[in-house]
Amino acid sequence: MKKIFPALAVIFMLTTISACKKPGETSSSSGTSDEAIKKYILAHPEVLVESLNSYQKQEAEQQGKKTEEELSKRTNEVYNNLASPVVGNPNGKTVIVEFFDYNCHYCKAILPDLQRIIAENKDVKVIFKEVPFLGETSASTAIAALIVYDTEPEKYFAFHTALMEHQGPADNNSIAAAAQKVGIDPAKLEQSFKDKKYENLLSENFKLAQALGISGTPTFIINGKVARGAIQYEKMKELIGAKQ
């Protein structure tokens, strides 16, 4: 049985005392218990914070287990979708899957760490899953990246990097600038937006993320383990099993 967190246990106990009044007990005596709760919280706020942190940690661990269980049912969608961009060693035994958004500040921030992991580990395969949670420009930028991977895959990672290095919200200008930077015709890229298959790919990514309980970016799956948030180089290195 799980332990009740310290502060929540005390609050529960005091609340129970307040609720279970004896026959004939007045509201004023019940109010004493309510005051005791308030006094305890005010006198020991650090215990409440600790309890909430512990609760959040347990919730994250439970969600991670649920995601990993669902992952075992959806390995083909996660690892073998040929439309999902791949960088690094396409035959690498160490697999990193990143669910990301081009407007996500944290996704941008961890790109150098991810690039370093790829450069230092020749057996690493990285699969990118675009999940544009942050609006219309996130979606249009993701579609542009999918088009590049579909039509000129050798330029994908450079294009992806240019988009991530853009400061500020993504827009049509940032897409065009990234295209020009890596030698892609922006006009030709724009024409490909008419193909609805790229929207369908994003829809598939959203459904997969929802099934896996992924609601924010970045989220990583590294060697079958879920890591949420902007994990940095040392954590990535630990999760891929690289020697320190």
Q: For residues 152 and 143, give the distance between their C-alpha atoms in angstroms, rounded to a whole number.
A: 14
More confident residue, 199 or 48: 199
- What pLDDT, on the 0 to 100 scale, is given for residue 35? 76
- What pLDDT, on the 0 to 100 scale, is given for residue 155? 96
Name the 3-class secondary structure at 13: helix
Model confidence pLDDT, tens digit, residues 51-81: 666 655 665 566 666 777 788 888 889 999 9
Kindly report the number of other CB atoms within 10 A of residue 19's CB atom: 9
% of the chain surpassing 90 pLDDT? 55
- What pLDDT, on the 0 to 100 scale, is given for residue 75? 87
| Length of the chain measured in residues | 244
* pLDDT surpassing 80 at residue 3: no
Model confidence pLDDT, tens digit, residues 152-211: 999 999 999 999 999 889 999 999 999 999 999 998 898 888 888 999 999 999 999 999
Name the 3-class secondary structure at 200: helix
In degrees rounded to 5, what are phi and psi of residue 197? -65, -25
The sign of the dihedral angle between the CA atoms of 77, 80, 83, 86 is: positive
Contact 15, 61 (CB under 8 A): no
Separation of first and last alpha carbons in the chain: 37
pTM above 0.85, yes or no: no
Give the angle 41-42-46 at the CA atoms, nearest 5°.
70
- Residue 104 binned pLDDT confidence (cut-offs 50, 70, 90): very high
* pLDDT surpassing 90 at residue 86: yes
Q: What integer best gives the mean pLDDT of the chain?
A: 82
What is the CATH T-level fold of the domain 75-239, as seen in this structure?
Glutaredoxin (3.40.30)
- What pLDDT, on the 0 to 100 scale, is given for residue 71? 83
CA nearest 228: which of 66, 37, 119?
A: 66
22 Cβ contact partners less than 8 Å away, ≥ 6 residues apart: none
The sign of the dihedral angle between the CA atoms of 13, 19, 25, 29 is: positive
Show me where the domains of the chain are located: 6-67, 75-239
Name the 3-class secondary structure at 130: strand
Listed range (15-29, 100-114, 144-158) with the worst mean pLDDT? 15-29
